[in-house]
Amino acid sequence: MALLVRFLLELCALAALAYGGWAAPGPLALRIALVVLLPVVAAVFWGRYAAPRASVKSPVGWLLTQLLVFGGAVAALALAGHGLWALVLGVVMVADTAVLAGYGEWRPPVRETPAEG
């Protein structure tokens, strides 16, 4: 169940980044670019470093990607004037991370070493 919540939080983070891009001050063209680019860049980094089948097995990249994506989502909501939603999202993210850590499901990827033989 906690992994399902985590996946939903990842989707919420992408939506929050897009909303934060739309709420950013500036011309319409910049806001549209941010709506597209913020979640796309986050998804690319997530797929490369933080996804269960990430192409790069880096504990540092794994942790930094999670901090930047989830922290960026909370910051985007707060900067867009939705402090309560930012707080709720942040609290649920921390609670879910604690549950996953308790079950041993929240850990950096380990490089697979080739079997000797």
Digitized pLDDT (tens) for each residue of the chain, 117 residues in all: 888 999 999 999 999 999 999 999 999 999 999 999 999 999 999 999 998 888 888 889 999 999 999 999 999 999 999 999 999 999 999 999 999 989 888 777 766 666 665
CA distance 78 to 55: 32
pTM for this entry? 0.88
CA distance 87 to 108: 25
Least Cα distance to 59 among 10, 100, 106 occurs for 106
